[in-house]
Chain A
Amino acid sequence: MSTRMELASTVVEDAVSPGPSAGLAGSAGSSAIFEIQDLNVYYRDFHAVTDTSLNIYQNEITALIGPSGCGKSTVLRCLNRMNDLIDGARVEGRVTYHGIDLYGSSVDPVEVRRRVGMVFQKPNPFPKSIYENIVFGPRVAGWKGNFDDLVEETLVRAALWDEVKDKLENSAFDLSGGQQQRLCIARAIATSPDVVLMDEPCSALDPIATYRIETLMRELKKQYTIVVVTHNMQQAARVSDRTAFFSVDVGEEGQRTGRLVEYDMTDRVFTAPSMKETEDYITGRFG
């Protein structure tokens, strides 16, 4: 996939390649796919996330962690403009994707979501066959190719092929929860994204299904960039290369605003974080 893309109906000719990663220790050798600068997100009057700046690096797994209400899912949704779908949502600051302003006036949000796929907390396959779940997106996008090959290739990549190859016409609802989630991942990658966002992808799954998803994530990062929101710190520690810890500031009137506290290599965050607030959270001393 070209890194200079057509997110809008016109080619963005003046897109610039992202420069050296913005001031994050340990980022040498990786290129930033997203650069988030001074991000503030509002839902009407509610200030959900404040002054967040961080880079997301290519072919890495980045974990966003923090307590409930810290804005980690909000930040995640900014990466494929899912917040646009929420009435009253407003995004300030700058989010670039391969150097292109994701919120630029000429950018097509639908194309953004094709390139930046998403997997949700609860497996949500379409009420269709396994086969149709995979081909639905590419077909809508007008993809011209061999759908059978696409289905096989995608399901192999999602580590689901061997389990479903003989029942592709069965309803997706016949699958177990873990299989449904892998189908959703397959569906997300069927449109050839280069980023997959995952919002609590394993919270509804049992440990074995969780293990399979985590194994799949490590495999997928060879081809895709993954950003995962998780409440499970052990999961973040197991799968991610970098971890961003968000916290919540509670205002005088009880309003809660998420704030990025620390962003570093995962090894560092879970063994010797720089910020006391991070240390207190990961060791369970908070609240």
Chain B
Amino acid sequence: MSDQRPDFHAALKSLEETTLSMADKVEGMVAMAIRSLVNSDKTLVSQVIADDDVVDEIYMEIRSRWMNIMARQQPMGRDLRMMAAILEMNNTLERMGDQSVNIARIAGLTAGLPREETILAKLQEMGDLLKPMIRTAIDAFGRRDADECLLLPAMDVPVDVLNRSMWKHVVACGNDPQLLEWATRMILVSRALERVGDQAVDIGEQVAFLLTGDHQEFLRFHDYDAD
């Protein structure tokens, strides 16, 4: 079989590679944001914010190239599904980058405040759970691996459980105003991490669509919770 549209397919492949490089960058940002929080590291805070500018540039570049390919090439079949998946992933990755910035900014704002180790450990645990999730989502896309993307909803469950349990740890911080300020901000961090988990599952759904052509929503925590 020969490729009758080599220029188009080269442009599509290049767009996919750019999306993967954006995903790698975002993966690093999430990890860095958590480290900046746990270690109260303002250098890392600045690095996350700087990386987000890079991600935003890649986001705009992907959108521009995407439009160009659609206008010029009118892809069909799996090429069309790839284009749809890339557009969705581009949006999702950009938002994951934004969540990392949210976390890093809170890390910067709370750097001088007293901390509660249990909460910090829970957030660290959420970060540890997210790391393989994000990698799984990226690899599932890069390898076109349907089995891998199907792992994501179950991987997301403990992240959601930790997020839901966060409030009671915050309440337990008592009446110390400074600790309470820190702790309430950690609810926002927890929420941001929970969203990152959802977004990794979103990527998995895009991979499933890419591979099957069927739009599907994976079961989420609230679906399990209803049982």
Contact = CB atoms under 8 A, between A and B. Distances in A.
B142 interface: no
Contact of A287 (B2, B75, B81, B213): B2
B81 A283 contact: no
Contacts of A278: 77
Contacts of B74: 234
Interface string B63-81: 0000000000011111111
A100 B99 CA distance: 66
Contact of A270 (B8, B77, B214): B77
Nearest to A284: B5
Contacts of B9: 284-285
Contacts of B175: none
Contacts of B212: 272
A200 interface: no
Please classify the interface of chain A as helix (H, G, I), strand (E, B), loop, or mixed, using the class held by over half of its residues. Answer: helix
A241 interface: no
B70 to A, nearest CB: 12
Interface residues of A, number: 17
B213 A283 contact: no
A237 B9 CA distance: 20
A216 B3 CA distance: 35
A233 B80 CA distance: 13
Contacts of A283: 5, 75-79
A237 B4 CA distance: 19
Interface string B204-224: 000000001110000000000
A270 B81 contact: no
Interface in A255-287: 268, 270-273, 278-280, 282-287
Nearest to B4: A284
A286 B77 contact: no
Contacts of A285: 1-5, 9
Nearest to B212: A272
Nearest to B73: A284
Nearest to B82: A283
A233 B77 CA distance: 11
A236 to B, nearest CB: 10
Interface string A18-37: 00000000000000000000
Nearest to A272: B213
B2 A272 contact: no
Interface residues of B, number: 18
Nearest to B209: A272
B199 to A, nearest CB: 24
Interface string B1-18: 111110011000000000
A279 B4 contact: no
Contact of B76 (A282, A286, A287): A282
Nearest to A278: B77
B81 A286 contact: no
B1 A271 contact: no
A270 B2 contact: no
Nearest to A270: B76
A74 B113 CA distance: 80
A271 B77 contact: yes
A271 B79 CA distance: 9
Contact of A272 (B1, B3, B75, B77): B77
A1 to B, nearest CB: 36
Contacts of B8: 284
A5 B224 CA distance: 60
Contacts of A268: 213
A268 B213 CA distance: 9
Interface in B8-62: 8-9
Chain B CB within 10 A, most for which of A270, A272, A278: A272
Given A284-B9, A285-B1, A272 B76 contact: no
Contacts of A270: 76-77, 80
A282 to B, nearest CB: 4
Given A283-B77, A286-B4, A287-B1, 20 more contacts: A237-B76, A270-B76, A271-B76, A272-B77, A272-B81, A279-B78, A280-B1, A282-B77, A283-B5, A283-B75, A283-B76, A284-B3, A284-B4, A284-B8, A285-B1, A285-B2, A285-B3, A285-B9, A287-B2, A287-B4
User: Which 6 A/B pairs are nearest by Cβ-Cβ distance?
Assistant: A272-B213, A284-B5, A284-B4, A282-B76, A282-B77, A283-B77
27 contacts: A233-B76, A234-B74, A237-B76, A268-B213, A270-B80, A271-B80, A271-B81, A272-B77, A272-B78, A272-B81, A272-B212, A272-B213, A272-B214, A278-B77, A279-B78, A280-B1, A282-B77, A283-B78, A283-B79, A284-B5, A284-B9, A285-B3, A285-B4, A285-B9, A286-B2, A286-B4, A287-B1
